[in-house]
Every structure is written in C-alpha cells, then in structure tokens.
Structure 1
Amino acid sequence: MVGFPGFGGFLRERDALAVEDMDRPDCEPGRLNRSYARFHLVNAVVSGWKGTYASHIRPLLTTSESATVLDIGCGGGDIARNLARRAAKDGFRLEITAIDPDERAFQFASSAPPVEGVTFRQALSSQLVSEGLRFDIVISNHVLHHLTPQQLDALLGDTEQLCGRLALHNDLKRSRIAYALFWAAFWPLGFGSYIHSDGLTSIKRSYTTAELQAAAPPSWTVERSGSWHNILVYRVREAPDV
C-alpha cells in the first residue's frame, strides 16, 4: 500500500514530474490489463459521466439520426461502451470512435465483447485531424493530467478542429481531500493492478480549477463535475446569419 504523506505544503503545487506506472513501456502486462479491467469500477464511482451525459450530451441527441462521438485516450474503453449503452437505453444511437495511441490499451479495449456503435482505433487525435474527420461530440476522461503543456495545447487544438458541436475533457481535480479519500477507499483495487498507486499519482499531477482555466485558451471554460473533477468545455459557436 502506498504510504500517506503528511500535509504541510503537500499538493499545493501540481507535480508534473510524477510518472504513472501504467505509462511506463516496461510495466508488467498482467497488472496493466487488470488495471484496464478495473477502470470501470473507479469511473463509475468518481468520474461523473452519468451526470455529464444527462446534462451535456443527451440534450444534443435526437431519435431521428445518430450522433458521432470521439473518445480520445480511451484506455480500457469503458467510458465509450457505457455512453453507448446509456444512449441506447434512452432511445438514441451514438456512433463512437474511441482512440488510444498505446497499443496495449487498444488491444485490451478491442478484445472486450463488442458494443453496438463503438469502434476502437489505435491512433492519435492529430491523425484524425489529418484525415479530415469531424465529430459532433469530442470527449476524454483522465487524459489532461498526463500531458505536458505543449501536448495539452496540441490536444485542445486538435479538439477544436475535430469538434462539430461540443467537447468535454473530464479530468481529476487536485485536492488533499480527494487524495485522502482515494487513498482510503480504493486500496483494495490496487492488489494485482496499478489502480491505487497510479490513481494517487494522477491526483498529484492533476490541475485545480484555476490552474486548468489558466492553461486553456480563452475559448474553453472549466465546469465542475461532481466534487472531484473538472470538465474543460468547448462549444462550437454557430456562424451568425448573414
């Protein structure tokens, strides 16, 4: 189990140099796959996509035609599959393209039982821009804190080119309370996986609300997503009538 540090100045600043074990090319494959397999448990509790779907995505959907969604950095693919199932239950259809540049994530996600409307690709967002693709909605979950400032700028630039209506980048919000609760509540998921240790590292790498707003272009806004997350939101403005 990861030791819990004293408070003092802990988490006052973002630890951009901390490295998650799952991001290491030589991490243990069995532990990595068990981590992917347990993502859905963590995301169901803390990521807030049920509420985000209801407040941001469902109002854009119609029963007359499907909506296209791009999930960037999809990891194990649980967010894409759950959104497709949730929309189908409500009578809507999503055509979701879920991408991840890591072959290990792609192999895990694409090996799961298929869900109608969900397609996985091993790709970067820049590749989709070069292909001239466009999607109604662009999303990501727990991706932003992994990126350098240059990579963050590139991702948001790609997103603006790929997004037809709405973009939602959901990420952890750094706080001592979030760190303490994750440390206490999720340690059982750490057995045989990277979930616990990497989750704590993720919180150390994540942004506060003010930091994320400062790091994003003015066209993006930060909205609260539950107690422990921020959503970086971009809305495409319709061209004025001439």
Structure 2
Amino acid sequence: MTLPPDLRTRRRQPELMDQPGLDPAEHRQALEALRRVNAFSLGSRAVWPQVQAFCRQRAAMSPGEAVRLLDVASGGGDFAVRIARRARREGLPLEVSGCDVSPFAIQHASEQASRAGVEASFFRHDALTGPLPAGFDVLTCSLFLHHLDPPAAVALLRAMREAGSLVLVDDLERGRLGWLLAYAGIRILSRSTVAHVDGPLSVEGAFTRDEVRRMALEAGWSAPEVIPRWPCRFLLVGRS
C-alpha cells in the first residue's frame, strides 16, 4: 500500500503539466483529468453562492449592469465554463473571462466554452509578472495557489484584492486524507499518467488553512475568510 509522506511541512515540487515541451496529447489528457476532478469536487458549486449573491446585489443597485468575472490561471477552462453555464441557467447578467499563461490551455478552454454553448472568453496573461487586467468585479482562482512559493502566492493574492471587489480562491488543503484521496481518486477518474503523478504532488505543495489566512493578511486583505469544504479543500473569500 502506498503511504503519504510527512505532510507537516509543505513540499512544493515541479509538476509534469508545468514543464515546457509536454506532449500536446498528454497535456490535453491531463486537462481532461482536471476537468473530471473539478466536477467531482464541486469547485464551481462552492463559489457559486458568493457569485450569485454579488450578481443579485449589483442587479438591485444597478439594474441592467452586468457583473464581470475573471478566472485567474484558468487552465482548461472548465471552472469558468461551469460558472458561465450556471449564470445563464439562472438568468444572471454575468460576463465570464479567463486568463492563463499557456496558449495551449487558452485554446483548450475556448473549445470547452464553444462545446458547452456558453459565452466565456479566454486570453493569455501571466498573472505573476504584473498587475491583473482592470475592469473586473469578481476574481476567482481554482487549483493554482498551491503551485506557488509563498512570496508569489502573497503577490497574487495582493493583485487579486487590488483588481476586484470580490475574490474567491478555491484550492487544496495539505493533509494525509487529501493526499490519499488524490492518489486513489485520480486513478479512478483518469488514465492520465501526468495526472497520476501531479495529483499527490499538488497536495504535498498545498497550503493549510492557517497558512493561507496568514498569506492573505500579509497581502493586505482586511478580513479574509477561509471556509473548509469537502474533499480536503478550502475556499478563501475576500471582499472590499
């Protein structure tokens, strides 16, 4: 039986999907694996009540004015597409965009939106090298924070706080159960060898709730809220 390593200390290691030159077929298979994991873990459903409440408040204050949402480091786009689909179903005026540093991921995300029949736009942007684009009300980020060293994570959280009125960060929480779920679950959900390697590594590089709260405070968030959620994840919420 495979046992998890000591997870009391964070161990961030390079993941296969982050490496340049990854075979496009393997990259696409790994993105599909992430889509299945996100569907199973209900990431978009966890943030939706916050987005829904913001949209309804905006509609009450400024009827007819759309809320603009940016999904930072949007990857394969499934998170943003699910939010766009939910907004369309409920008739809420929400304009969804996503940005990512990978041109391959942007192309894949655009294809996902087209197949889903939703209006979600994706563009290339490196969220770690400069300010985030202006003009957005809600900023989301799913399963990206654990890829970063603490200084870069703090910088990203600061940039998101400065760019939007509502910030929602959904990510893994480091722990033994989360590691076991990642190891076993990804093998059930996908045949991607890249995902099989990266899943447990992601948990080893993840933050705890206390660690992410401290980083949010360091980034200038006035009252960060860290909500634990199943399976072994957290939702970090910031409002301005």
Match runs of 1:41-60 below 5 Å: 41-54=36-49, 56-60=50-54
Kindly report structure 1 stretches of 4+ aligned residues shifted beyond 6 Å.
none
Give TM-score, length-normalised by structure 2: 0.86
Shift of 1:201: 0.7
Is the contact between residue 106 and residue 123 of structure 2 (CA under 8 Å) also seen in structure 1?
A: yes
Residue 221 (structure 1) aligns with: 225
Residue 9 (structure 2) aligns with: 13
Q: Which amino acid is 2:55 matched to?
A: L
Seq. identity, %? 28
In 2, distance between residues paired with 1:102 and 1:146?
Answer: 15
Residue 154 (structure 2) aligns with: 153
- Cα deviations across residues 145-197 of structure 1 (Å, max 9, x unaligned)? 1112221122112112210x210011101110111122222213442442222
Q: CA RMSD in A?
A: 2.2
Structure 2: state its 5+ residue gaps. Answer: none
Is the contact between residue 47 and residue 229 of structure 1 (CA under 8 Å) also seen in structure 2?
A: no
- Cα deviations across residues 116-142 of structure 1 (Å, max 9, x unaligned)? 3311001123678375x1311100000
Residue 37 (structure 1) aligns with: 32
Structure 1: state its 5+ residue gaps. Answer: 237-242
Residue 231 (structure 1) aligns with: 235
Matched length: 228
In 2, distance between residues paired with 1:128 and 1:95?
Answer: 23
Shift of 1:211: 1.6
Is the contact between residue 189 and residue 195 of structure 1 (CA under 8 Å) also seen in structure 2?
A: no
Q: Once structures 1 and 2 are overlaid, which stretch shifts more, 137-146 or 122-131?
A: 122-131
Match runs of 1:168-183 below 5 Å: 168-183=168-183
Point out the structure with the larger helix share: 2
Is the contact between residue 102 and residue 124 of structure 2 (CA under 8 Å) also seen in structure 1?
A: yes
Residue 83 (structure 1) aligns with: 83
Give TM-score, length-normalised by structure 1: 0.85
Match runs of 1:135-214 below 5 Å: 135-163=136-164, 165-214=165-214
Residue 240 (structure 1) aligns with: none
Q: Once structures 1 and 2 are overlaid, which stretch shifts more, 207-216 or 118-127?
A: 118-127
